[in-house]
Structure 1
Amino acid sequence: MLNSVSMDSIYQSTYDAKKDREIKKELDKEAFLELLVTELQNQDPTQPMENKDLVAQLSQLSSTEQITNMSQAIQEMVNSQMSLNKLQAASLIGKTVVVNDNTIDLQSGVAEGLNYGLDNGSQVYLEIYDSKGQVVYTEDLGVQEAGLHSYVWSGRNNDGTMMPDGEYLYGIYTVENGQMVANTGVKSGTVEAVKFLDNELYLLINGEMYPYSVVNEIST
């Protein structure tokens, strides 16, 4: 047990030893050991720390050191994996990929072609939306077989009026068990560059950035 004079000495010694150290939110193993040594040096000789108390504090020191070492090991693994990911990502440059994309660009009254795949033959319906999510065009594309299909929009709405240039969204819907099911549109292109943003991989394809998560096919 420590007397009041010894406690004052401990606080003063600890403050003097740590005032030049960087302030940390958690007690690291060096600070923990320093505090323990200071406590032992200033304990009351007539009432020294009992063995069980010393063992308990040493156990805390061991746990603190293990946690620190584990954190360092995990960080090293993360850094190593990130380096490996970047090397693997660089190998994608020049390869042809297919990405999920339901956008259409309309420029000078000409819309780019859209592509979509069907897992099964079905009745197919098309809807095109403006930037506000409003439906501007619908069409019944009839019954189509499974596989990859293409379509070119005229750029006109349901009234036959030419729509302004810009980016539009489209939806491909099939009928399955009496329910309308949305299908994903796709685009293909060559990977021109790769980039990591917030630890997520992005690919530059046809001048547009796509997250790697939307890639569904890669070929040479």
Structure 2
Amino acid sequence: MTAIGATNNDNPWSGLGLEKKADSRDTTLGQADFLRLMTEQLKNQDPLKPLDNNQFLGQLAQFSTVQGIEDMQGAMTSMASVMESDQTLRAASLVGREALVEADVVELQAGGGIGGEIAATRPGTIQIEIVDSSGATVRRTTVEASGAGSVAWQWDGLDDAGKPIEAGTYGIRATGGTGKDTERLGVGVSARIDSVSIEPTGLVLNLDGLGSHALSSIRRVG
């Protein structure tokens, strides 16, 4: 007769080569656990050296503060997630619209032009230079500022001789004043929003001919 080995009643699956997994236990300390420990501490304290009331209240307040901070962190995390989702939906609605961003380098398309705004600091003539990748000036033009503020500018993609410039990367420089009073001015370039990206640093708008720019760097959306 074939003998059948004894089985382990605690683990009915041992005969199949399956081991019983240890029960998972929650190792976190909750408020009820903390109060239970404090109660045991009071019950087992040295009668000659009883726990000071201020010390007891201090421990209780410390635990409550830590728990409150954890609850607040959880609430803030949830709020941040909701705000990020809402911001993403709002940014997605910007695709196809025009955005104004400060830039000194642009990508000119064949037969195209570029425009935007210059931040004037005072009234007077503003000099605008378009330079190629070698630093040579291919177009000079001017706009008049009636005072401090934004002044519209436009480049039709032509050189000083009125001929179309080939597609490529070009720099833009704007200066105001004359002589010792000459100053460099900020140039804003308008471009179409092609898409929106979600990066670890926040939302990024991908602009036609201008590359990627953080949402916070956009000066205006038209």
Considering fraction of residues, name the structure with more helix: 1
Match in the other structure for 1:136: 136
Match in the other structure for 2:187: 184
Distance (Å, rounded) in 1 between the aligned partners of 2:220 and 2:53: 65
- Give CA-to-partner distance per residue, 1:44-82, whole Å, 9 cap, x none: 355442333222211222222222222222222222211
SS at match of 1:167: strand
Distance (Å, rounded) in 2 between the aligned partners of 1:184 and 1:116: 8
Q: Give the TM-score of the pair, scaled to structure 1.
A: 0.62
- Give CA-to-partner distance per residue, 1:68-115, whole Å, 9 cap, x none: 2222222222222112212211221233333333223368xx685342
**Displacement of 1:184:** 0.6
- Structure 1 position 148 matched with structure 2 position 152: yes
Distance (Å, rounded) in 1 between the aligned partners of 2:71 and 2:116: 51
SS at match of 1:49: coil
Q: Does the 8 Å CA contact 2:175/2:183 hold for their aligned counterparts?
A: yes
Structure 1 residues 17-166: aligned runs within 5 Å: 21=27, 36=38, 39-40=41-42, 43-44=45-46, 47-105=49-107, 113-118=113-118, 119=120, 120-126=123-129, 128=131, 130=133, 135-137=135-137, 140-142=140-142, 144=144, 147-151=151-155, 152=157, 154=159
* Larger-gyration structure (1/2): 2
Q: Does the 8 Å CA contact 1:104/1:113 hold for their aligned counterparts?
A: no
SS at match of 1:201: strand
Name stretches of at least 5 consecutive residues in structure 1 with no aligned partner.
1-18, 156-162
Distance (Å, rounded) in 1 between the aligned partners of 2:57 and 2:126: 76
Match in the other structure for 1:198: 200
Name stretches of at least 5 consecutive residues in structure 2 with no aligned partner.
1-24
RMSD between aligned alpha carbons?
A: 4.0
Distance (Å, rounded) in 1 between the aligned partners of 2:74 and 2:116: 47
- Identical positions, percent: 23
Match in the other structure for 1:6: none
